Structure formats: structure tokens, C-alpha cells
Amino acid sequence: MSTTFTMPNRQLTWLITGCSSGFGLALTNMVQSHGHKVIATSRNPSRTPELVAEVERKGGKWLKLDAEDPNCADVIKDLESSGQQIDVLVNNAGSSIHACVEQFTEEEVRRQMESMYFGPARLIREAVAHMRIRRFGIVVNMSSGAGLEGRETMGAYAPAKAALDSVSKILAKEVSEFNVRVLIVSLGAFNTNMVNAITTSKNPMPEDYKGSIAEKTINAMGNGSFNPEGDKEKAVKAIYEVVMGEGVGAGRQGERFLPLGRDLAARVKQVQDQYSHSMEVFGDICNNVYRDS
């Protein structure tokens, strides 16, 4: 589904989370190279002083933002109060923990939801309040194929992504009439540090799962045999152009879902086929559960 939006003809200010590496850093570089202002954020800016200096040398800012902090939206509130409006919010920061569903601790699941859903949702609520009043803004939520159809061991990560996807779809319907756009970027596997940053549950895997697909999936991620084919630089270029309505994004500014990656395309097809199959099998039942007139 698409909607018509108008873009101002001026420099835009982007606030991007998770900029110390991967997609966040690549997108920061891309946006700055096109003359826009970036407010980059990360959990610990002191760990990447060279990156901070480079972004600020190009006219940007680098701020501390921890999505798990209940007060993380104060970063946007303070910027807006000082007269620095946010035109584009990119929720990119995140982490992932992998294990069997029954293996996770309550704390592990809650922390994953904090960083991947509650944190971004706080930022969205604060940013959109200002965008709505100005009648312009763009929210970009970096998601994953896991949000569409999670694989084994993604019992904490996939629900968090699915929750962010769901609120993105609802938000898009609510704010489109205010010229505020919401874009879900659904990523396949790309050449970032995400694989190396994966953690596992502190609980041991139950013996029954030894040799299962779940164990093999975790082992593949941990032993370096998983080698993503996706090129993050090409993906970032596409993201920038779709957000700005330039290049491959020309005429597509109103689109709400941007899938990126051959593996993601296969995941989308899988989900489509699953729903089609369910309707073929249960369609007659689905349409025969109404009260008699």
C-alpha cells in the first residue's frame, strides 16, 4: 500500500541509532555524503572516538543513547526543545540473543524486547509528536525477515521484530494524513558484525535438542560458517534513495515496506505461500462461522 507524501526541498536532519558499526554507520556516512545533517547515537560513544570525531568533523553530532534506558526519548525531547527538529528517525540499534524458546530466561526475553521494541517505541512516540505538528517527518524502522517468519533459536529476537513491524503498520495508518511517513526496512542477511555480536542464553540447551536444527543453527553462527551474501553498502544506498524519493526510490515515497536481500525475498514468498495454503485448507471453515440470519 502506498500514500502520497510531500518532501521539503531542504537539508534534512536524521537521527540514527546504533551508529558504531554496521548499517547505522554505513547509513550515517551515506546521509552525510549527500549533504544532510546526522545526529548519530550509540550506547557507548567513548568506545569509538575516531568515528565520533569523523561524523562531527562533517557537521554532525554524536550523542549517547541506550534504547534500554526508560528515559531514552529524552534525547529527542532535549533536541527539539533546543530548536533542533528531527526530520527522519531511524531505529537501527539492536542486538540478538539466540536459544530454544524453553531455554530463555525471563530476563533475557525482556531485555531483548526492551532494546528491539520498547526503546524504539519510546523514540517513535516522542519524535512523531513533533513531526505531526510540523506536518512532515519520516520514521524508518530497521527490521528483519525474522519479523515475518522467525527461524529456530529466534524465540526472543523474532517476536521483538514482529512487534516493531506491527506498531509500524498501525502508526503508518494513523499519521499518513499528517504527512508523516513510516517505512519498515526488512533485511535479509548482510555483511555486518551482527553475526559476531550474537549471544546465547545463560541456560544450557536441553539434551533433547542436541543435534537438532536449533543447535546446528547456533553452531553455524558461532563457528564462522555463516557467510552472508548481502552487501550493506548497496542496501544502504537503496534505503537512502527510497527514503528521499530519489534514484530507485523515485515515485515510491509512499511505500511502507522495503524488502532487501534474496534470502528475504524467499522468506516473503514462504509467508505468502503459508497463508495461501491455510486458506486453501480452511477457507470453507473460515467463511462458515457466522450466526444464522
Active site residues: 143, 157, 161
CA–CA separation, 27 and 156 (whole Å): 26
Helix axes 157-175, 119-134, angle to 10 degrees: 10
CA distances, 236 to each of 191, 230, 240 (Å): 12, 11, 6
Dihedral angle, C-alpha 78, 79, 85, 89, nearest 10 ° = -100
CA angle, residues 127, 130, 132, in degrees to nearest 5: 105
Dihedral angle, C-alpha 162, 164, 166, 169, nearest 10 ° = -140
CA distances, 235 to each of 207, 231, 261 (Å): 40, 6, 8
